[in-house]
Amino acid sequence: MIGDIGTFTVDGEQIGGFKDWELTLRLTAINQADGRKYSKVQTKATCKAFWLLKEPGEVTANYFQLVGDTLALVSQSKVEVNFGKLELRKMINRPLEMVWMN
């Protein structure tokens, strides 16, 4: 799934955002010793650029797509993100990976 824009929130307060995102789901089959099988889903997202207004804490990512003239929330999750060197109130034009916390 791909989208246009997203937001980073902490306790419901927006602390930043990102643009040009893509969600990827990876399904992994796991065999247990007793012969049972189950699947584990790993979800991650990437974006092309991001910005932060405040220092991040436990971050929730909110993913939006443009539907007609409206931005629609299509997914959200708490994510683990390594922002690297923080530069607040500035667009950071580099890819960022967000791993969903399941």
Residue 34 has pLDDT above 80, yes or no: no
Give whole-number Cα distances, 54 to 8, 10, 15, 45, in Å. 10, 10, 5, 21
Residue 29 has pLDDT above 80, yes or no: no
Residue pLDDT, tens place only, 37-84: 766 677 899 999 999 999 998 999 999 999 999 999 999 999 999 999
Query: What is d(CA 60, CA 79) in angstroms, rounded to the nearest whole number?
Result: 6
Residue pLDDT, tens place only, 81-99: 999 988 999 999 999 999 9
Domain ranges of the chain: 2-29+39-100
CA 88 to chain centre: 19
